[in-house]
Structure 1
């Protein structure tokens, strides 16, 4: 990660809202829903092992975050209540999810519909 990349200044898990609240040193502030984080997990289980292998993950409308585990000074491991805990959410990944969240969410809903899957 380059020195110019945004750095988190605040990272708060809001369990009751199922939201990860994160602020960066460039002034950006994002509220990332647990469901978005789960279905966009950087893990191989979700992203696959190469280009074009991303999986659409259904049934996560009510997923919650159990805990956050710091990984060095560059990432956090998110433990979800469905047992998923692989994939490291780097600061860069969290920033991208916040910045591109609306498009990613729309793409996710479209993929669910196309594949005959449900959020429930």
Structure 2
């Protein structure tokens, strides 16, 4: 997509149990993204690092919850999680990627957990 045709969010809604964020776009795409998935795929430097070699695998987030979603300009939001992580800036394009490619992202995460002897649970 070009910059002029990037989808724009029409809905951002946290579920009543705080475990899911629904993101809908003006192109008809709508994704229900689990809090755990959003947390472990955080675009923050704390998780992604400043280079691929610095990427961290975040274990023990199966029960994490979303406590707040805060706008960042007109291009993204900051998600506050109940584990106090809140440094990731989730752009609209990143939400689309997470929603359109969940199997790919999740498979990488689960493989990294296994390789490092980590768990989704605490």
Moved over 3 A (4+): none
Q: Which runs of 5+ in 2 are unaligned?
A: none
TM-score (norm 2): 0.93
> Could you tell me which residue of structure 1 aligns to residue 89 of structure 2?
88
> Could you tell me which residue of structure 1 aligns to residue 31 of structure 2?
30
Is the CA contact 1:15–1:65 (under 8 Å) kept in the aligned structure 2?
no
What does the per-residue CA deviation read over 1:1-22, in whole Å, with 9 as the maximum and x for residues that have no partner? 7111111111101141500001
Q: Which runs of 5+ in 1 are unaligned?
A: none
CA RMSD across the alignment: 1.2
| C-alpha separation in 1, matches of 2:40 and 2:16 | 18
> Could you tell me which residue of structure 1 aligns to residue 21 of structure 2?
20
1:109 aligns with 2:110: yes
TM-score (norm 1): 0.95
1:63 aligns with 2:64: yes
